[in-house]
Amino acid sequence: QQQVKQSPQSLIVQKGGISIINCAYENTAFDYFPWYQQFPGKGPALLIAIRPDVSEKKEGRFTISFNKSAKQFSLHIMDSQPGDSATYFCAASMDSGAGSYQLTFGKGTKLSVIP
């Protein structure tokens, strides 16, 4: 059972446009929601993250919007650039005990920003 649903699977945006990726989760035990960016041949890199007691977090051109009641969160990339072309994963985390955490990932969104 997939616990984090991510859409769209792929996204094409023109340079300067806004990229929006959406995720929904089911398990209310999740308490930390990171987004990862992955370039070909690289591991996922933590991009931005949010806790459920906050409705929005902004870091530069990247913003997470979080709706706890709807169990949804989204990533907005403002002024999208060709260098933003990558695969983006949303994730949800919960404490798995002994100081470790279990991350459940969405399937990923391949973003292409065209000049």
Stretch that binds another protein, among 15-23, 53-61, 77-85, 102-110 (CB under 8 A): 102-110
Stretch that binds another protein, among 13-21, 61-69, 72-80, 97-105 (CB under 8 A): 97-105
List Cα–Cα distances, 14 to 54, 80, 84, 95, in angstroms: 30, 7, 11, 39
Report how many residues bind another protein under the rule CB under 8 A. 32
Please tell me the distance from the alpha carbon of residue 60 to that of residue 85, in angstroms, as a whole number: 17
Which residue, 60 or 97, is less far from another protein as judged by CB? 97
Which residue, 32 or 76, is less far from another protein as judged by CB? 32
Please tell me the distance from the alpha carbon of residue 54 to that of residue 17, in angstroms, as a whole number: 26
Among 15, 27, 31, 114, binds another protein (CB under 8 A): 31
Query: Minimum distance between the CB of residue 14 and another protein, rounded to whole angstroms?
Result: 27
Q: Does 51 engage in binding with another protein (CB under 8 A)?
A: yes
Q: What share of the chain is helix, strand, coil (3-state, %, to 5)?
A: 5, 60, 35
Stretch that binds another protein, among 16-24, 39-47, 55-63, 72-80 (CB under 8 A): 39-47
Concatenating the DSSP letter of every residue in 98-113 gives: TTEEEEEE---EEEEE
